[in-house]
Structure formats: structure tokens, C-alpha cells
């Protein structure tokens, strides 16, 4: 439990200069065996970005195949595998660990004013468990992949498909462990590691979001673990509990699966919401409207997330009464989501708004998440769901929440905190161009899918009727614009690392704690142990020096002003 120090475990034994940057030590070993949460976060970041690249390429292949009806570039069998692998890579390898594993790992201890997470060794373990899961996943892909979709529905996954289901289930099982360990670590850290004066009422909203997420990770992920474990044995030894011909129940698998996978949706979106709260406050230069409600709505989402899994199964053969209850509970999710959206918008009101690239992503998030959330209500309605179930409407809905929500928030957070953890500024003009491409490309890709779905185009189909072709082509062209946007962003970030200007301590003029420590971040996060005397958004209590943007005269990047 990280309580015994082992000398020489990839570390220096001499003392650290308190001003020394965490990036100062060089060498591969100093990274691979690090116990520093910031370095582990960066390794996570590299890992999840690689997964995002892989998943993104698979997505482009799916869209390309659908450019024409019938065969375009691959066979139906290959298509089934490609969309399955896209879902699995994006869900388990990218979107679940993205915000907590990368941004959360780097900034949770800093925002709490502490030196590290509670269990640094467990933190590193969690990363390597993720790597192990990723290796299993990649092995499966090379070995032919799976064609079950990311949901592994029985009895197809247990009895009929001849693809590599068991190694892929093992990969997901292992990745679940990584997620649980991160959750346990963050819960213990938030409870016990807060700096003097960092009361619960002063916790940054990003921390509240990560805390709520960690609770879901700890409570929901083990249910996925047992489900996958049972499915592995069902497939390998014919247990019979998910097999109707042996007296079992395939719908039981769906219940088990969604009991995890619906809360998992909140594992994906809630940390993104936390990022957005931070960005909106910083770039409106004011305290959030209804801090307490935004904080509690994260916990509200965590709670409600456990009560609505049945809405994935309205047409799978549940009793009418359960579907009614699940439908009603699903509508309740609109309350905490609405609280967040309205409070963000109200925070903007009379704020001193600066439209830098992170803020553009935050505003984009509000717009796209609202569409994603409201179309969720269509699907929660029983009669409407019968028509829309398993159509592109569902695909568009969850991509608006997962990509328009989480990915946009993750990328926004990356822009927001990039100067702090890399110590480099990036080209604001390129960042805005990338945002414009991503925003337009995303909407072109997925708005058309709402129309496709409402006209009856089923999801996961390889072929389609001629009347769907034009909309499919619009969607595919949108995916190219979206891909181009991410490419521009990648070039911009690489350029920033190579030739970016050195970032000042507080380039956005934020009152939050992580911007008060030097850039790049010192090894122990702070030069002196901070004592917290105000909340992270108390702009009226922050001193001039704290809000100082830190550019020497004439040094201000030319494209950084509005």
C-alpha cells in the first residue's frame, strides 16, 4: 500500500530542489518506474491518445465502408469486426480512462494541494494493468478481432460467433481492474489528502466530478468483472446460465451488462463535466453559479446512473411494469444534467468572458451535450423507443454525449491545462481552426445520423436501402472533416512541444489553485505546502499577483489576445 519506501526504485535518492520541475529528470527508466502522479498521468495520456488514434482510424473505416450501399472497401464479416473493435477500443481503452487517468491523475493532487495521490504504487500498478489490458486487446485484434459489438450480447457471443471472444473479454476484465484501482485511489486521496484549509466546500468542481466518478467506478466495475467472468466460463465450459436451451436466460446477461455499462456512461461523461466547470469559471472570471448544485448534481448522476440500466432493454423482453419504472427513472436523469447546463449558462451571464480555445470547447460542449441529452429523452419514452431502438438515432444520440460531450471536454481540458503540465504555449490560431473543423465535422457526421435513424436505418448494418445513401455520404464526409480537425490539433500540440513559447505561471488568469504553482510544475507540486484560505473560484478574494497572467511586457504571444 505504498507505505514502505524502497530505495532505488527508479528514483533519485538525493534530495529534490523544491523548485525543480517534475520533468527535469531524464531517461526512460525515470518514466517507466516513476511513482509521481504527474508522470503517470502523462503516460496515461500517451496511452489513451494512442487508443483514440486507433479507435478513430477504425471509425473512419466504418464510415468509408458505408459511403456506398453494398461493398465499398471490406466484406460484411470484416465490417462487423471493425465496428466492434471501434466500440471496444473507444470505450474500454480510451474514453473510460481518458479524463480520470490522464487529466485527473495530473491535476487531482495539485487541485487538492497535496504532493501525490494516496497510493502512488497502486497508481502506477493501475497504469500497467491498463497496458496489460491493452496488450490483450491488441493481441485479439491481430488474432482476428471479435464481431459481437462492444456489448458481447449472448447467446451470439457465447455460442455462435467463432471470433476471439475470450481474449477480448479477458482484456476488458483486466481493464476493469485498472479502472477500479484508479477509483479506489482517488476516493482515498480526496478523503484524506486535502491540504490544510481545503474543506469539502472549497473542493474544485473537477474534484467533485472525479470523486463521483470514482464512486461509480468502485461500485459498478466489479459487476462488469463478474459478468465477463461468467461469460468467459459460459463460452468456454457451457455453464448454461445465459443459454435458453439449457434453462438459462440471455436477457440476464443484458441486465448484468447494463448494470455496469449504464453507470459506465457516467464514468465517461461526469469527469468531462468537471473539466467544463473549471474552464467556464476560469474564462468567465467568476465563481460558478450554484457551486453546491453543480457539485451535488455530479453525485446525483452517480446515484441515478445505477437505477436506469433497463432503458437499454425496452424491447428485449422485460415486463411492461419494469419498462415503465425504468422509463420514469430515466427521465429523472434530466434533472442533474439540466442543473449543470443551466448553471454553466448562468455562470456565463455577466461573466468577463474570454473566448480562448479551451472556452470554445466548453461552449461547444454545452451545445452538443444539450442535443445529446435531450435526444436521450426521446429514447427514454417507451413508445418512441420501439421505433428508434437499434437505429442510427441511438448511434447519433450516444455519440453526441460521448464525443460531443466527453471527447470535447477531454480535448478542452487538454488545451486548458496543457501550458501547466508541459510548460509550453500552443498556437492559438491553429487551436481555433482545429476546433472549428472538429465542431463542424462532428455535427455533419452525426446530425445526419439522427435523420437516418428516425427514418429507420438500423445500426450496425453493412448494407442499406438506396434512399439512405445520400445521408450516409454526408455523414462519411463529416467524418473526414472531423478527422482533419484532430490531425490539425495533433500537429499543433507537437509544434507546441517542439517550439512553443514557455508558458507563464497563470496564462489564463485563473484563481484556481493549480495555476498558483510554478510552471512547469515542481516535483512536489508546490514549493511550499499550500494553506488554503479561499475557494478555487473566489475571484473577489484572489490577489492581483495570483491572477497575474505572468507575461513579461512584450512577451505576450501575439495570437493569445482577443
Partner 1 sequence: MSSEAATADATTEVPEGHDDHGHDEHGHNDHAHPSYLAHHFDTPQQQFDAAKVGMWAFLVQELLFFSGIFVAYGIFRSWYPEMFSAAAHQLDRPIGAGNTIVLLVSSLTAALAVREAQLGRKAGTSRYLLLTILCALIFLGVKSYEYNHKFQAGLLPGHFYHPHLHHLVEGSPALPENAHIFYSIYFMATGIHAIHILVGIGVLTWIWRRNERGDFSKEYYAGVDIAALYWHLVDLVWIYLFPLLYLID
In terms of CB distance, is 256 or 537 closer to partner 1? 256
Q: Does 199 engage in binding with partner 1 (CB under 8 A)?
A: no
In terms of CB distance, is 519 or 525 closer to partner 1? 525
Query: What cell does 94 get?
Result: 480510451
Q: Does 11 engage in binding with partner 1 (CB under 8 A)?
A: yes
In terms of CB distance, is 15 or 558 closer to partner 1? 15
In terms of CB distance, is 179 or 445 closer to partner 1? 179
Q: Which of residues 43, 89, 110, 180 is near partner 1 by CB under 8 A?
A: 180
Q: Does 12 engage in binding with partner 1 (CB under 8 A)?
A: yes
Residues in 224-253 at the binding interface with partner 1, rule: CB under 8 A = 225-227, 229-230, 233-234, 237-241, 246-249, 252
- Contact status, residue 278 vs residue 412, Cβ threshold 8 Å: no
Judge if the upstream peptide bond of residue 487 is cis by omega within 30 degrees of 0: no
Q: Smallest distance, Å, CB 74 to partner 1?
A: 35
Residues in 85-114 at the binding interface with partner 1, rule: CB under 8 A = 114
Q: Smallest distance, Å, CB 511 to partner 1?
A: 22
Alpha carbon distance 562, 354 (integer Å): 7
Which range of residues in 116-124, 133-141, 363-371, 425-433 is near partner 1 by CB under 8 A?
Answer: 116-124
**449 exposed, middle or buried (CB, 10 Å; 0-12, 13-18, 19+)?**
buried
Bridge partner residues of 391 (DSSP): 458
In terms of CB distance, is 316 or 433 closer to partner 1? 316
Q: Does 275 engage in binding with partner 1 (CB under 8 A)?
A: no
Q: Does 183 engage in binding with partner 1 (CB under 8 A)?
A: yes
Residues in 280-339 at the binding interface with partner 1, rule: CB under 8 A = none
Q: Does 187 engage in binding with partner 1 (CB under 8 A)?
A: yes
Write the CB contacts of 275 (distance below 8 Å, at least 6 apart in sequence).
99, 103, 206, 209, 409, 410, 412, 413, 416
Alpha carbon distance 501, 423 (integer Å): 8
Q: Does 553 engage in binding with partner 1 (CB under 8 A)?
A: no
In terms of CB distance, is 122 or 434 closer to partner 1? 122
Write the CB contacts of 473 (distance below 8 Å, at least 6 apart in sequence).
67
Which range of residues in 212-220, 320-328, 382-390, 430-438 is near partner 1 by CB under 8 A?
Answer: 212-220
Query: What cell does 189 get?
Result: 486521496
Q: Does 42 engage in binding with partner 1 (CB under 8 A)?
A: no
Binding track, positions 122-141, relative to partner 1; x by CB under 8 A:
x-------------------
Going from the C-alpha of 524 to that of each of 35, 303, 304, 422, 555, the distances in angstroms are 12, 35, 37, 16, 28
Q: Does 185 engage in binding with partner 1 (CB under 8 A)?
A: yes
Q: Which of residues 219, 299, 451, 547 is near partner 1 by CB under 8 A?
A: 219
Q: Among candidates 432, 429, 481, 470, which has minimal Cα distance to 448? A: 470
Q: Does 71 engage in binding with partner 1 (CB under 8 A)?
A: no
Bridge partner residues of 311 (DSSP): none
Alpha carbon distance 542, 511 (integer Å): 6
- Identify the three-state secondary structure at position 538: coil
Which range of residues in 25-33, 125-133, 282-290, 551-559 is near partner 1 by CB under 8 A?
Answer: 25-33
**DSSP codes of every residue in 152-168:** T-TTIIIII--S-HHHH
Alpha carbon distance 412, 362 (integer Å): 7
**DSSP codes of every residue in 385-440:** HHHHTTBHHHHHHHHHHIIIIIIHHHHHHHHHHHHHHH-B---HHHHHHHHHHHHH
Q: Does 532 engage in binding with partner 1 (CB under 8 A)?
A: no
- Contact status, residue 265 vs residue 305, Cβ threshold 8 Å: yes
Q: Which of residues 52, 79, 107, 119 is near partner 1 by CB under 8 A?
A: 119
Q: Among candidates 447, 474, 506, 399, which has minimal Cα distance to 90? A: 399
Q: Which of residues 362, 524, 535, 537 is near partner 1 by CB under 8 A?
A: 524
What residues make contact with partner 1 under the rule CB under 8 A? 1-7, 9-13, 15-18, 25, 30, 33-36, 114-116, 118-120, 122, 180, 183-185, 187-189, 191-193, 218-223, 225-227, 229-230, 233-234, 237-241, 246-249, 252, 256, 523-524, 527-529
Amino acid at each position: 500500500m505504498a507505505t514502505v519506501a524502497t530505495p532505488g526504485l527508479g528514483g533519485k535518492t538525493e534530495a529534490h530542489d523544491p523548485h525543480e520541475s517534475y520533468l527535469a529528470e531524464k531517461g526512460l527508466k525515470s518514466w517507466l518506474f516513476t511513482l509521481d502522479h504527474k508522470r503517470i498521468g502523462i503516460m496515461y495520456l500517451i496511452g489513451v491518445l494512442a487508443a483514440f488514434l486507433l479507435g478513430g482510424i477504425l471509425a473512419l473505416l466504418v464510415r468509408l465502408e458505408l459511403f456506398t450501399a453494398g461493398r465499398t472497401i471490406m466484406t460484411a464479416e470484416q465490417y462487423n469486426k471493425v465496428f466492434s473493435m471501434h466500440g471496444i477500443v473507444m470505450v474500454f481503452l480510451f474514453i473510460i480512462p481518458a479524463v480520470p487517468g490522464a487529466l485527473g491523475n495530473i491535476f487531482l493532487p495539485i487541485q487538492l494541494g497535496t504532493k501525490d495521490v494516496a497510493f502512488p504504487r497502486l497508481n502506477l500498478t493501475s497504469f500497467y494493468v491498463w497496458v496489460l489490458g491493452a496488450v490483450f486487446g491488441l493481441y485479439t485484434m491481430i488474432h482476428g478481432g471479435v464481431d459481437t459489438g462492444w456489448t458481447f450480447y449472448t447467446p451470439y457471443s457465447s455460442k455462435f460467433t467463432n471470433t476471439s471472444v475470450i481474449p477480448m473479454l479477458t482484456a476488458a476484465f483486466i481493464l476493469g481492474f485498472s479502472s477500479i484501482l484508479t477509483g479506489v485511489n482517488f476516493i482515498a486521496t480526496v478523503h484524506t489528502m486535502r491540504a490544510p484549509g481545503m474543506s469539502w466546500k472549497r473542493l474544485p468542481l473537477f474534484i467533485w466530478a472525479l470523486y463521483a466518478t470514482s464512486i461509480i467506478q468502485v461500485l459498478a466495475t466489479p459487476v462488469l468483472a463478474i459478468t465477463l467472468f461468467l461469460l468467459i466460463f459460459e463460452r468456454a465450459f457451457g455453464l448454461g446460465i445465459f443459454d435458453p436451451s439449457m434453462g438459462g436466460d440471455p436477457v440476464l446477461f443484458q441486465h448484468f451488462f447494463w448494470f455496469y455499462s449504464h453507470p459506465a456512461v457516467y464514468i465517461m461523461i461526469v469527469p468531462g463535466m468537471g473539466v467544463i466547470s473549471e474552464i467556464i469559471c476560469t474564462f468567465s472570471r467568476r465563481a460558478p453559479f450554484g457551486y453546491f448544485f453543480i457539485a451535488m448534481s455530479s453525485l446525483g448522476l452517480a446515484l441515478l446512473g445505477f437505477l436506469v440500466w433497463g432503458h437499454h432493454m425496452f424491447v428485449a423482453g422485460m415486463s411492461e411494469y419494469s419498462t415503465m419504472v425504468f422509463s420514469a427513472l430515466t427521465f429523472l436523469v434530466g434533472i442533474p444534467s439540466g442543473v449543470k447546463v443551466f448553471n454553466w449558462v448562468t455562470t456565463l451571464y455577466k461573466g468577463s468572458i474570454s473566448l480562448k480555445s479551451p472556452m470554445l470547447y466548453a461552449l461547444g460542449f454545452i451545445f452538443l451535450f444539450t442535443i445529446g441529452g435531450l435526444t436521450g429523452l426521446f429514447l427514454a419514452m417507451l413508445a418512441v423507443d420501439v421505433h428508434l431502438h437499434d437505429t442510427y438515432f441511438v448511434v447519433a444520440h450516444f455519440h453526441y454525449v460521448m464525443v460531443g460531450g466527453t471527447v470535447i471536454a477531454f480535448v478542452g481540458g487538454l488545451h486548458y491545462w496543457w501550458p501547466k503540465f508541459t510548460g509550453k504555449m500552443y498556437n492559438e490560431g491553429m487551436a481555433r481552426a482545429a476546433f472549428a473543423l472538429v465542431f463542424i465535422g462532428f455535427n455533419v457526421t452525426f446530425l445526419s445520423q439522427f435523420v437516418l435513424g428516425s427514418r429507420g436505418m438500423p445500426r450496425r448494418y453493412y448494407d442499406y436501402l438506396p434512399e439512405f445513401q445520400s445521408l450516409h455520404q454526408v455523414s462519411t464526409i463529416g467524418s473526414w472533416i472531423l478527422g482533419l480537425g484532430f490531425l490539425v490539433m495533433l500537429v499543433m500540440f507537437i509544434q507546441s512541444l517542439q517550439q512553443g513559447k514557455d508558458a507563464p505561471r497563470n496564462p489564463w488568469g485563473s484563481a484556481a489553485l493549480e495555476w498558483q504553482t510554478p510552471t512547469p510544475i515542481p516535483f512536489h507540486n508546490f514549493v511550499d505546502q499550500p494553506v488554503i484560505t479561499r475557494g478555487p473560484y473566489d475571484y473577489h478574494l484572489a490577489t492581483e499577483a495570483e491572477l497575474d497572467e505572468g507575461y513579461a511586457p512584450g512577451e505576450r504571444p501575439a495570437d493569445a489576445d482577443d
